[in-house]
Amino acid sequence: MKRSDFPANFIWGTATSAYQIEGAVSEDGRGPSIWDTFSHTPGKTKGGDHGDVACDHYHRYPEDIALMKELGVNAYRFSVAWPRILPEGRGRVNPRGLDFYNRLVDALLEQGITPWATLYHWDLPQSLEDQGGWPSRETAYAFAEYADLVTRHLGDRVKHWITLNEPWCSAYLGYHAGIHAPGQQNFKHSIWASHHLLLAHGLAVPVIRRNVTGARVGITLNLSPGYPASPDPADVAAARRFDGFQNRWYLDPLYGLGYPADMLALYGEAPSVQGDDLITIAAPTDFLGINYYSRAVVRNSDLEPYRFQYVRVGEEHTDMDWEVYPEGLYDLLIRLGREYRPKAIYITENGAAYPDAVADDGGIHDLERVRYFQRHLALCLEALQHGAPLKGYFAWSLLDNFEWAEGYAKRFGLVYVDFPSQRRRIKASGYWFRDFLREAVVRP
Ligand SMILES: OC[C@H]1NNC[C@@H](O)[C@@H]1O
């Protein structure tokens, strides 16, 4: 499998997010986000890690763009930090926050790298959380105002917009499991949050189209194909419930099907739908972003409310203890193409954490990660050849960074970051990606 097997106009990028790499959390007028609060709450993150400095990308972005250039990517997916733009979430605008993204976008374009901007990658302004957060409908309206402001300022140069990153994580991990910010454990709030996140997306789509000539708008979901642990009908039904919990709860409303009836019955908890919400949420988009890491294998369980239990399978696992299962990406791409028929699909994240270390020769020989990318890209190609509308791939991540509750111990980067010194070193996987991308470049 080589680059030239893919369409010549296939997008090849790397991805990051603001809170995971920027640092400078109190600089140039940025306000606090729920992740500032959560990561500074004792016991919430491994080793008390937080994003105060992270990869210091706020100051080092020229060096990081030079790394993207060296890798040979033609696109870069980053997120805009809402609390940098609107420190209180609404109202007062912070011009220095806007200026950072102006400089970032200009520097990317100067290097011939197409900017892909995610408007929300989990760093909700704390003041909005204080007023109810995503369980409150007001937050969806605040998001639409934020999207309007940002796209009016960057839309002349940024044409690719992802409204939300992984609303499932924001709603479930943040409001029910409680392992992500804001750390609530309230099922009803997580259902309301999921609805207001989708509503926020739907409200923002027409705003982005109005502000950005030639906009390409989509959303990014973290989707996992679910497989039953056995052919037992109880396990098969559990896999269907997992699929509803993880995938269909978001895909169905986004593609005009409303919330899945089986899940509404299972939950016994209706989202706070009002008026034309479901029409708003199903606003036509130009692409579906997929973040794929692994599959889920589940069996039946009486554990309420989801009534499935994960089963650990497979011989090979990453440092996150996620099974390496590239076949799941193929299955997912084929299913989505057939069942939801998105105009286009982009893999907006795919990658793996491994316990990387600098070897005596100064290199980082992350050959497991090289294999991970090779195997997943091979199945991307197969899915594409079998009709999946796959148009691009973003490796997660450009840099080792703040892996949320896992802190800095989980390294996903193509580039190794020595955090005390902030020195960047391209890993073997980065050099592999570079050579893969160079293969099809027509030499003058
Ligand atoms: O866990 C790896 C990645 N998954 N998707 C969202 C990103 O912010 C994570 O770092």
Every domain of the chain and the residues it spans: 3-438
Is any ligand 1 atom within 6 A of the Cβ of residue 166?
A: yes
- CA 406 to ligand 1: nearest atom: 1
Q: Which two tokens stand for residue 43?
A: 């016991």
Q: Provide the ipTM.
A: 0.99
Q: Would you give the distance in Å from CA 345 to the centre of its chain?
A: 14
Contact at 8 Å (CB) between 291 and 221? yes
- How far are the Cα atoms of 172, 186, 204, 226 from residue 190, in angstroms, in the given order? 6, 6, 21, 21
pLDDT of 77 reads 99
121 is in an annotated binding site: yes
CA–CA separation, 174 and 166 (whole Å): 11
- Tens of pLDDT, residue by residue over 171-201, are 999 999 999 999 999 999 999 999 999 999 9
- Mean pLDDT, residues 269-286 taken together: 96
Beta bridge partners of 392: 11, 346
CA–CA separation, 55 and 419 (whole Å): 7
- CA 353 to ligand 1: nearest atom: 2
Phi-psi region of 49 (alpha: psi -120 to 50; beta: other; left: phi over 0): beta
Q: Is CATH 3.20.20.80 the right assignment for the domain spanning 3-438?
A: yes
Is any ligand 1 atom within 6 A of the Cβ of residue 17?
A: yes
**CA angle 187–191–194, rounded 5-degree value:** 135
- How far are the Cα atoms of 10, 181, 196, 222, 288 from residue 191, in angstroms, in the given order? 36, 16, 9, 17, 22
CA–CA separation, 254 and 258 (whole Å): 8
Ligand 1 centroid–CA 444 distance in Å is: 38
Mutate to test the pocket of ligand 1, among 39, 404, 406 (most ligand atoms within 8 A of CB): 404
Helix (H) or strand (E) holding 161: strand 160-165
Is any ligand 1 atom within 6 A of the Cβ of residue 19?
A: no
Most confident of 228-237, 263-272, 433-442: 228-237
- Mean pLDDT, residues 429-444 taken together: 84
Q: Scanning the structure block, which residue is given the tokens 């593609």?
A: 255
**166 among known catalytic residues:** yes
Q: Whole-number mean pLDDT of the chain? A: 97
Q: Which two tokens stand for residue 377?
A: 């890209």
Mutate to test the pocket of ligand 1, among 165, 403, 406, 417 (most ligand atoms within 8 A of CB): 403
- Tens of pLDDT, residue by residue over 297-341, are 999 999 999 999 999 999 999 999 999 999 999 999 999 999 999
**Cα atoms found within 13 Å of the Cα of residue 395, Cβ hemisphere only:** 32
pTM of structure: 0.98
Question: Pairing relation of β-strands 415-418 and 423-426?
Answer: antiparallel
Ligand 1 centroid–CA 293 distance in Å is: 9
- Mean pLDDT, residues 343-359 taken together: 98
Is any ligand 1 atom within 6 A of the Cβ of residue 123?
A: no
pLDDT of 17 reads 99
CA–CA separation, 281 and 222 (whole Å): 18
273 confidence band (pLDDT: 50, 70, 90): very high
Q: Which two tokens stand for residue 303?
A: 């554990």
DSSP state of 353: -
Helix (H) or strand (E) holding 390: strand 390-396
DSSP readout, 182-197?
Answer: T----HHHHHHHHHHH
CA–CA separation, 425 and 41 (whole Å): 31
- Mean pLDDT, residues 16-31 taken together: 98
Handedness of CA 426, 430, 436, 438 (dihedral sign): negative
The set of residues, in sequence order, having a beta carbon less than 8 Å from that of 443 and lying 6+ positions away, is: none
Is any ligand 1 atom within 6 A of the Cβ of residue 291?
A: yes
- Tens of pLDDT, residue by residue over 138-169, are 999 999 999 999 999 999 999 999 999 999 99
